[in-house]
Structure 1
């Protein structure tokens, strides 16, 4: 994988690139980064030129104290300009899917196709923040690391293989050692950027091929939330990964990559 830092929109973004072919912009979820999606990047890079930034506030990119959803959109438009990419397919996972929707509504001429994974069309905050608030009493006294592990274990489907869970735990431990996890203030900034988004009026105006993928056992953005998005986008395709929770791209990586490849190659 090729990795480099690019300064766009007044922010330093760490960017991972791999593969050759049609360009595909990959956007990770809340508190994650491109390094945590290496299996997915490697799988998709067989068919596409994958560009996966660590989004503002995350990973090895700059982490300002406050920012907005529109800041994310402007970062990505600046990144596309820096890479001389006129149009790209955009794939967003969870928080990345909200940013992907915002980007496509703001600049539909820059998006050739849209893939939204474990997504929703609106929210008063991120789904993670909502879920943690619902379980606040249970989390009292836990350290940030304990909360991350508690949440991570609940994002899997009931029958996800133990090997997959161990892979995720190893990723999380590696992130912790490398200083890549977000402290409470940085996580709060990331959550604030997602407050009050609502794409339900913009999605019906899109004229872009779209695939929406949900995990059957997703506790954060269940399939009915994904189906709502698919129904709002004209002619969108909706698929459910039956053996996945919110970590669908990790739990069923081969099936996920096959779905995306078959859709984007049409």
Structure 2
């Protein structure tokens, strides 16, 4: 196992695959680095894939207090360990927020930035609004039925997403309530939108048209704040456009990342 010690003596797990220019892959909330295993073949021929389990997730330590600075330190610790001075970053959900924050604070580290299902507010706020929208129905349902209902409004191609999720390593069900709470509140009151004009790297912001959590207009708003950003709407996707329309996603990300060394 590849382990590095980050801030507050926290062990961070990461994986390496592929070869070429470094591409850092940052997972979503309550997910882990295995969510990107499906892209090893597509991107591994041209890029060194650096997949990191942020603290509170995957095989990394799960402290009871986490904030955005902690996540950032996790990524920087891995990059220091690997002597990576500049890289492309691709982040999904929570990972997108972390990548966005790094692009704001450490612009010299980011060559190009891909943000998938990232909006103009913390995920927790979006999720709470999403749940309130269906509160009358959810309060009478069992948890399993709640999950099925919400999935209808999160994803467009639910069968494809379910197959993908079944292939992921399950590192969530063993979490304690306090560990989950730490992740839940890790981005509370974080405002990255007001600082997004500081991002100097070219950025690609991807949204799914049928995503009721991170609505497409939130992704578009974010893209308008980043000076050199391109917005892309996936019409046949929900919250997981990189899986629901994988071929289109891979093609467009490859095109976006193609000028690898345009320093």
Please report how far the alpha carbon of residue 79 of structure 1 lies from its aligned counterpart in structure 2 after TM superposition: 1.4
Q: Equivalent residue of 1:43, what SS?
A: helix
Report the CA distance shift for 1:124/1:27 in structure 2 as closer, same or farther (over 3 A).
closer
1:94 aligned partner: 93
Q: Distance in 2 between matches of 1:142 and 1:67?
A: 31
Match for residue 245 of structure 1 among 238, 247, 251: 238
User: In the alignment, is residue 201 of structure 1 matched against residue 197 of structure 2?
Assistant: no
Q: How does 1:117-136 map to 2 (within 5 A)?
A: 117-123=116-122, 125-136=124-135
Matches of residues 161-172 of structure 1 in structure 2 within 5 Å? 162=159, 164-168=160-164, 170-171=166-167
Superposition RMSD in Å: 2.4
Aligned twin of 1:46: 45
**What residue in structure 2 maps to residue 78 of structure 1?**
77
Unaligned runs of 5+ in 1: none
Partner of 2:2: 4
Conserved? CA contact 2:118–2:219, under 8 Å: yes
Checking the alignment, whether the CA contact within 8 Å between 2:103 and 2:200 is kept in structure 1 is no
When structure 1 is superposed on structure 2, of 194-203 and 116-125 the one drifting more is 116-125
| TM-score, length-scaled by structure 2 | 0.88
* Change beyond 3 A, Cα 1:169–1:103: closer
User: TM-score of the superposition, structure 1-length normalised?
Assistant: 0.87
Residue 185 of structure 1 corresponds to 178
Render the CA deviation track for 1:101-152: whole Å, top value 9, x for unaligned. 1111111111111111111132483533442354455444767666555544
Specify the alignment match of 1:62 in structure 2: 61
What is the CA–CA distance in structure 1 between the aligned matches of 2:249 and 2:62, rounded to whole Å?
A: 30
